[in-house]
Structure 1
């Protein structure tokens, strides 16, 4: 008995639905995991102090420390919180200009060790003109 095989006459086709599903999942994954500009969300609560405000200089190197102790040097986030990583990022941001003034902006809730680490990294990198940003003292 001879059985007919109709599969030999069918046209092969590529099913695109699974491919489209995979591409949509990849797009959603990349949109969710993309790093956005974290500096726009960074809010610092500066410590208060009495004193006269100083005019900002044009080529000031900015070092920010948020409440969790994470560092930001100009436009760069320092991924590790050790002295060597912070020093390397500061040196990359400043190039060879060690006479450039540094504005240290630390949140009032920042652990003291994070500020000391920033001072240590700046001193090791050769910076001597360091200013601390504060907010005006609240009037009672």
Structure 2
């Protein structure tokens, strides 16, 4: 008499390939989000000190614009002339109506350069503008 054999269950071990795939996707995600969330602080821009200054965390829909002591406007670590800055800010304002700009002006920069950046923001229809300061050392 011929008896059927029971099928032996396949014991699957820990599969490493899907785990590596998931880890690589997570690594790419964190690298991309880290680069977007990075604060842009020019080392050669020393912002003025304020008594009640607060450290803010970078959020989405905000950009830091640095104004150096010589009046050069720096955005994304590149010097940008004001007409090009206006064009870029208009594109951002069209996509994100509540876009925020943080102006980091050097403490030695003449105010006419800061007002030029403010006027550029206004021309681009960006109303959410803040000024960066550092806390006073006691």
Q: Which TM class, normalised by the smaller chain length? A: 0.5 to 0.7
- Residue equivalent to 1:67: 69
Say how many residue pairs are matched: 98
CA contact (8 A) 1:73 1:93 kept: no
- For the aligned residue pairs, the C-alpha RMSD in angstroms reads 2.5
TM-score (norm 1): 0.59
Q: Which residue of 2 aligns with 1:115?
A: 114
- Judging changes above 3 Å, is the alpha-carbon distance between structure 1 residues 64 and 110 closer, same or farther for their aligned structure 2 residues? same
CA, structure 1 residues 53+73, in 2 after alignment: closer, same or farther (shift >3 Å)? same
Specify every segment of 5 or more residues in structure 2 that has no aligned partner in the other structure, as ranges. Answer: 1-39
TM-score by length of structure 2 reads 0.60
Aligned residue for 1:96? 95
Q: 1:90 offset after TM fit, Å?
A: 2.8
Q: Which residue of 2 aligns with 1:55?
A: 56
For 2:129 and 2:95, how far apart are their aligned partners in 1? 16
Say if 2:92 and 2:99, in contact at 8 Å, map to a contact too. Answer: no
Q: Residues 63-83 of structure 1: CA distance to partner in whole angstroms, max 9, x if unpaired? A: 1101110001234421x3xx4
Query: Based on CA coordinates, which of the two structures has the bigger radius of gyration?
Result: 1
CA distance in 1, matches of 2:88, 2:77: 10
CA distance in 1, matches of 2:41, 2:131: 21
Q: Is the 8 A contact 1:73 1:89 kept in 2?
A: no
In structure 1, runs of 5+ residues without a counterpart are: 1-38
